[in-house]
Amino acid sequence: MIKCECDLRPLRVSERAECPLAAHYPLLLPGRLWVPARAMLCGTMIRGAVLLAWVLCVGAAPQDLMDVCMDGKHQKVEPGKEDALHGQCTPWKDKSCCTANTSQEAHNDQSYLYNFNWDHCGIMAPACKTHFIQDTCFYECSPNLGPWIQKVDSSWRKERILDVPLCREDCDGWYNDCKLEYTCMENWHKGWNWTSGTNQCPNGTKCRRVFEVFPSAADFCEKIWSNSYKYSDERRGSGRCMQLWFNATNGNPNVAVAKHYAGIPSSARNPRIGLLLLAPLSLAPLSLAWAV
């Protein structure tokens, strides 16, 4: 008998999962597409075993999106407890992708994390800067970004987040506290003059009010970090949008949001598995026919 196996790797949005048993049954799920990794087909296998193995491959994927750390510049390999997290990063202390030292540096101007100067167009107001510190903590510390992590070819990181749905209160509050500040750039990820070792406004640009560069909260949140975030009309507590910051007394609300976008049912039971088990077994002979 030919040995068949499911070769699974952590599955992320816009990424392909590898499962040879599902070679002839591509299944489109929220943010996922099953595609064969190699042309390995199974022969002399009973119908039930083929279908069951396929179901197990599909059912295993969503959980791989939970409790993961981005492969970035400063994140840990896997999340864990960090009792000494600092300031705005403390909500993630029970399960964090950042270290205490990273959390401390997130609060410093021009820290060693990225040598980024918030005051590139004059001194940034404390209320505005607090949001950027919270944003840094969210990016460095959160283990709930799996559904939005993507591979990138970059000199300073191997993965990034894309289109994380940010609750409207978080984005609106961030924008309202920063709209009277000044900046010279629309995209803060690239285009700066780094000759001094820190970001400076490029020649030919001028400092303008944030509301002049970004006419709306959605424009601000989506453009400032290259579409890392997407403005959501959903509100906090809806289970459909991520909070940039939260009071951890009542737990981490972003866990439920990540589960939703990963396709994990809120109950312990997985209805997708049940439906697949009831799928017509006539699919199995088709696989066997191709395997012969």
Domain ranges of the chain: 16-65+266-291, 87-262
**Dist. CA 91–CA 195, nearest whole Å:** 36
Four-CA torsion 60, 61, 63, 68, nearest 10 degrees = 140
pLDDT of residue 267: 57
User: How far apart, in Å, are the Cα atoms of 224 and each of 185, 218, 229, 279, 292?
Assistant: 8, 10, 9, 46, 55
21, 53 in Cβ contact below 8 A? yes
Lowest-confidence region among 31-40, 190-199, 235-244: 31-40
Mean pLDDT of 215-229: 97
276, 51 in Cβ contact below 8 A? yes
pLDDT of residue 140: 93
Q: How many CB atoms lie under 10 A from the CB of residue 201? A: 17
The mean predicted confidence, pLDDT, of the chain is 79
pTM of the model: 0.71
148 or 7, which is more confident: 148
pLDDT of residue 266: 67
245, 166 in Cβ contact below 8 A? no
pLDDT of residue 195: 95
Q: What is the pLDDT of residues 237-247, one digit of tens each?
A: 999 999 999 99
Q: What is the pLDDT of residues 37-62, one digit of tens each?
A: 433 434 434 444 444 544 444 444 67
Lowest-confidence region among 50-54, 93-97, 160-164, 195-199: 50-54
pLDDT of residue 179: 98
288 pLDDT above the threshold of 60: no
pLDDT of residue 199: 94
Nearest to 40 by CA among 73, 84, 80, 7: 7
Q: How many CB atoms lie under 10 A from the CB of residue 44? A: 9
Confidence of residue 83 (pLDDT cuts 50, 70, 90): very high
97, 140 in Cβ contact below 8 A? yes
Q: What is the pLDDT of residues 122-144, one digit of tens each?
A: 999 999 999 999 999 999 999 99
Q: Which pair of structure tokens corresponds to residue 176? A: 């309202």
Q: What is the pLDDT of residues 256-286, one digit of tens each?
A: 999 999 998 865 444 444 444 444 444 444 4
3-state class (DSSP) for residue 154: coil
Confidence of residue 28 (pLDDT cuts 50, 70, 90): very low
